[in-house]
Amino acid sequence: MSKRFGFISTRFAGTDGVSLESAKWARVLWTDRHVSYWYSGLSDREPGASLCVPEAYFGHPEVQWLNERIWGARRRTPLVSRRIRDMAAYLKETLYHFRDRFELDVVVPQNALTIPMHVPLAVALTEFLMETNVPAIAHHHDFYWERVRFSINAVQDYLDMAFPPRLPNMSHVVINADAQEQLSLRKGVGSLLIPNVFDFQNTPPPPDDYAADVRKEIGIREDDIFILQPTRIVPRKGIEHAVKLVSMLENPRCRLVISHEAGDEGYEYKHMLEELAREEGVELLFIGDRISEVRQRDAEGRKCYTLWDLYPHADLVTYPSTYEGFGNALLEAIYFRKPVVINRYDIFVKDIEPKGFDLAVIEGFITRDLVRKVKRLLFDEEYRRGVLDHNYTIARRYYSYAILRRHLRIMINTLTGWRPGNGET
């Protein structure tokens, strides 16, 4: 019999890793006729299958008030402790309602027990699981010990209790080998490594009429070389390496396009990139105001595109990050059969590079050898096609939905005794 899964997080909306990967999990679960439901504070999921509780969102005013007082300090006041407990008690009631309303068999906390953006929710969820013994699969994307901002805090007791908890009814999933090792060392908890995945069994559809004019709309001519940086503008994305690469290509047709805005980390880095691009003679295009989570028109009546509308038009994708929990943009570029320039960040070196991809690799700085490889990828069609086909084959072997399906079936069987029906593979 199929199972009813309840996904739980602070937010299921937009293009962040948690929202994207949880949707993929639900899609794979549906192939075995398991039904998914959603609990969060902000949601773009089907309303009839969701419980949206505003207080569960990390951006809720009460959560922000708490976060201002528990991070960067070693001591919390009795008022802060009381408000954490009061909010946790309320959220626990809503979790009971979520379980009862949708008659859940398994819950899937998505990063809610991993990174402490919402301490009361994690406390509520931990107590809910201890009280109900509902089977749980905790999907961990990035732990608090991986972020400097959480190192000084006034909630170490709650971090020990709930990020993540050690419960007999819970299986743990991580997205990279470092996280697996650290979870074992710090918490004494075993975990299953399931990387981010894509539907590599099915190729992406070609651009439709809506996306046919992407180049014209963002200011790129048909004969320009469209180099896409598909990330937010934050320092850890290493975008200065992409600027330097374009400068060293010494081709006036090159246009470096950054798809997303600076976000909530300030604009100093963006200003630095603008100054660097002027010094290097690089045409840098910021199109964050034209990229949206869904296709729509902006206030001026202009088309807004999704990130996936951009990939088919790009000639090259740059991904020079200094740190990533995994690297969704890398898989996206390979999925759309685009050549990739990538920095050797730690998780890439340990988890992805050994798989055998053929990528243009940055060893901390841009070299002449790298520039030569990039030029060959751009202008040698036969070589380019061979590289892209090779990378797609590798990705299909290691990062397809089939890998996720196999792991999920093992965990569901362990937690509930469920097995796929006759003839299912």
Whether 14 and 118 share a structural domain: yes
User: What local confidence, expressed as pLDDT, does residue 266 receive?
Assistant: 72
User: What local confidence, expressed as pLDDT, does residue 325 receive?
Assistant: 82
Structure tokens at 251: 């081709």
* CA atoms lying within 13 Å on the CB side of residue 309: 23
Would you say residue 203 lies in a domain? no
Whether 144 and 266 share a structural domain: no
In the chain, the amino acid numbered 327 is G
User: What local confidence, expressed as pLDDT, does residue 424 receive?
Assistant: 54
Would you say residue 423 lies in a domain? no
Whether 14 and 89 share a structural domain: yes
Bridge pairing between strands 4-8 and 106-109: parallel
Would you say residue 202 lies in a domain? no
DSSP secondary structure, 399-417, as one string: SBHHHHHHHHHHHHHHHH-
Would you say residue 250 lies in a domain? yes
Name the residue among 252, 229, 249, 251 with its Cα closest to residue 240: 229
Specify the CATH number for the domain of residue 357: 3.40.50.2000
Whether 187 and 47 share a structural domain: yes
Name the residue among 119, 102, 138 with its Cα closest to residue 22: 138
pLDDT tens digits, 182-223: 999 999 999 999 999 999 999 898 889 999 999 999 999 999
User: What local confidence, expressed as pLDDT, does residue 57 receive?
Assistant: 97
Q: How far apart are CA 56 and CA 38, in angstroms?
A: 12
Would you say residue 208 lies in a domain? no
**Which contacts (CB < 8 Å, 24+ apart) does range 40-46 have?**
40/7, 40/8, 40/9, 40/10, 40/11, 40/12, 40/13, 41/10, 41/11, 41/118, 42/10, 42/11, 42/12, 42/13, 43/11, 43/12, 43/13, 44/12, 44/13, 44/14, 44/19, 44/293, 45/12
Whether 89 and 117 share a structural domain: yes
Q: How far apart are CA 199 and CA 193, in angstroms?
A: 18
Q: What's the domain count of the chain? A: 2
Would you say residue 204 lies in a domain? no
Whole-angstrom distance between the N-terminal and C-terminal Cα of the chain?
16
User: What local confidence, expressed as pLDDT, does residue 296 receive?
Assistant: 92
Whether 158 and 276 share a structural domain: no
User: What local confidence, expressed as pLDDT, does residue 294 receive?
Assistant: 86
Whether 172 and 245 share a structural domain: no
User: What local confidence, expressed as pLDDT, does residue 158 receive?
Assistant: 98
Whether 142 and 180 share a structural domain: yes
Structure tokens at 43: 């949601």
Whether 130 and 224 share a structural domain: no
Residue 122 has φ and ψ, to the nearest 5°, of -65, -40
Whether 277 and 391 share a structural domain: yes
Cβ atoms of residues 192 and 173 within 8 Å: yes
Q: Which segments in the chain show pLDDT lower than 70? A: 263-265, 422-425
User: What local confidence, expressed as pLDDT, does residue 265 receive?
Assistant: 66
pLDDT tens digits, 146-189: 988 999 999 999 999 999 999 999 999 999 999 999 999 999 99
Would you say residue 424 lies in a domain? no
User: What local confidence, expressed as pLDDT, does residue 166 receive?
Assistant: 95
Whether 267 and 322 share a structural domain: yes
Would you say residue 209 lies in a domain? no
Cβ atoms of residues 285 and 258 within 8 Å: yes
* Enclosing domain of residue 277: 214-398
Helix (H) or strand (E) holding 258: strand 254-258
Whether 410 and 390 share a structural domain: no
What is the reported pTM? 0.87
pLDDT tens digits, 283-309: 999 999 999 988 999 999 999 999 999
Residue 113 has φ and ψ, to the nearest 5°, of -110, 25
